[in-house]
Amino acid sequence: METRIAELRYKEVISVEDGSRYGYVGDMEVNLETGQVRALVVPGRRRLFGLLGREEDKVIPWSCVHRFGEDIILVQNRPPLSNGE
């Protein structure tokens, strides 16, 4: 499956552990030296129709991304443990 960065904005981020819906991808953090994606950023939800601002953005480390689908991205709430831990 191929996807473009612009298409990520239309994919909803959902937790595989409890089914929580975090929202849609708003941005990505990329290491410019290596070109690797470091995290997905989901904008915080608006409070009282945006009159009271927004919640904090949710930054999801790339190691927590479990699987990409046609219209969703499944993530784990906690990064997976390494074999050495």
**36 — phi, psi (to 5°)?**
-90, 145
Q: Which two tokens mark 59? A: 């930054």
Q: In this predicted model, what pLDDT tens digit does every residue of 21-76 receive, in sequence order?
A: 999 999 999 999 998 999 999 988 777 765 677 788 899 999 999 999 889 999 99
Q: How many domains does the chain have?
A: 1
Q: In this predicted model, what pLDDT tens digit does every residue of 1-23 receive, in sequence order?
A: 677 878 888 999 999 998 999 99
Query: The domain containing residue 65 runs over which residues?
Result: 10-75
Q: Is residue 14 part of a domain?
A: yes
CATH number (domain holding residue 21):
2.30.30.240
Q: How far is CA 21 from CA 5, 14, 59, 77, in A?
A: 20, 5, 14, 11
Does residue 78 have a pLDDT over 80?
no
> How far is residue 8's CA from residue 32's CA, in Å, rounded to a whole number?
19
Q: Is residue 5 part of a domain?
A: no
Res 30: pLDDT: 92
Neighbouring C-beta atoms of residue 51, cutoff 10 Å: 7
